[in-house]
Amino acid sequence: MEHYERLGRELIHKGAIIDYYQDTIKVPNGNIVKWDLITHKGAAAVVAVKDDGKLLMVRQYRNALDRETLEIPAGALDTSEEPTQVAAARELEEETGYKAGKLELLISLKTTVAFCNERIDVYVATDLTPSKQHLDEDEFLNVESHDLEELLQMIFDCKIQDGKTVASILAYQKKYRQAAD
């Protein structure tokens, strides 16, 4: 592999959930270039499976798209050192009002490797018991239950486009459902 050297990193903007940097990089041919970098403390997400096999999903407004999306429950880590399993359990209860009796790591994602270091660990939650939603004051979402086949069709009909949700549902199908068929 060719040699790249970071010569500098400048913080351009510190945000609430991301920080934006501009890196100065020496590329293999010796040229000096500027590359954008967004840092994120990380996140956790959950494929929550009810006893009837349906998956819990959340429908919420996303400002970047200016529309509602259907996604698996997820949220940022409180700190970059927080265990993702702890965050996954917290986000599941906060967003859906369910607690998981069992959480098992499904996949770990790097969401946009060209310019961002965000990592999302995705867990499968089973043995769900009702609890209470604890939404943030700026969080408004609806909880829905869907069959796996229905969600797969929504993916292929381009109705579900959120990357973590698409990857997680496909991984869940491959790991848990195809083995049972």
**Claim to verify: residue 129 and residue 149 sit in the same structural domain:** yes
Residues in the chain predicted with pLDDT less than 70, given as ranges, are 1, 178-181
Looking at residue 2, what is its pLDDT?
82
Looking at residue 1, what is its pLDDT?
64
Looking at residue 153, what is its pLDDT?
97
User: What Å distances lie between residue 85 and 10, 12, 46, 104, 120, CA to CA?
Assistant: 32, 32, 10, 8, 11
Domain that holds residue 142: 41-180
Domains identified in the chain, total number: 2
**Claim to verify: residue 69 and residue 31 sit in the same structural domain:** no
**Claim to verify: residue 89 and residue 9 sit in the same structural domain:** no
Give me the count of residues in the chain: 181
The CATH number of the domain holding residue 107 is 3.90.79.10
In the residue annotation, 137 being an active-site residue is answered as yes
Catalytic residue among 68, 82, 137, 139: 137
pLDDT tens profile 63-78? 999 999 999 999 999 9
**Claim to verify: residue 100 and residue 172 sit in the same structural domain:** yes
**Claim to verify: residue 15 and residue 83 sit in the same structural domain:** no
**Claim to verify: residue 115 and residue 174 sit in the same structural domain:** yes
**Claim to verify: residue 123 and residue 47 sit in the same structural domain:** yes
**Claim to verify: residue 131 and residue 52 sit in the same structural domain:** yes
Half-sphere exposure of 103 (CA within 13 A, CB side): 22
Looking at residue 137, what is its pLDDT?
85
Contact 123, 44 (CB under 8 A): yes
**Claim to verify: residue 20 and residue 90 sit in the same structural domain:** no
Please return the burial class of 23, using the count of CB atoms within 10 Å of its CB with bins 0-12, 13-18 and 19+: middle
